[in-house]
Amino acid sequence: MRRPLQLALPADPVTPSVVRQRLREWLAAWSWPADQLDDIVLAVSEAVSNSVEHAYLHQPSGMVEVRGGIETTPHRQHRVMIIVRDHGCWRAPPSDHENRRRGIPLMRAYMDSVTIGQPPDDPIGTWVVLRSKAIPLSHDALGDSDGNMTCADD
């Protein structure tokens, strides 16, 4: 039985690599198309890297959480939703003209939607909600799962 992805890892330099490996395995278990799988892994890795690099600058290192599931859209297609969350110091994302780095634009280029903000239950943390492009996915691929999530509009 396939389950939602749930990882809680220390905000260490090796964490993005661990997340890439586990996310790739999880998506492969869903028979997710290879071209989109690579895009999702790259975007999520970038979000995790940002947490590792920026979340705990002025405080002791903490954890990075990665949760994922498959959403069913109103058009009966499926998409991946991943939430990357830390409990570090919140910093608003830079405006486009202030952002000289490529991480956030890269996430937005590879995902259908990217929302960056503060979780409602943690005013000091940050979360990044990433949703892939919706695709038709065979019923066989979904199989006997409890990895479905309710589709919510941004």
Q: What tens digit of pLDDT does each residue of 27-50 get?
A: 999 999 998 999 999 999 999 999
| Total-model pTM | 0.83
Q: Which long-range contacts (CB under 8 A, 24 or more apart) does 29-38 make?
A: 29/2, 30/2, 30/70, 30/137, 30/141, 30/142, 30/147, 31/137, 31/138, 31/141, 32/80, 32/137, 33/135, 36/132, 36/133, 36/135
CATH numbers and ranges of domains, the chain = 5-149 (3.30.565.10)
Q: Flag the least confident range among 3-7, 37-41, 137-141.
A: 137-141
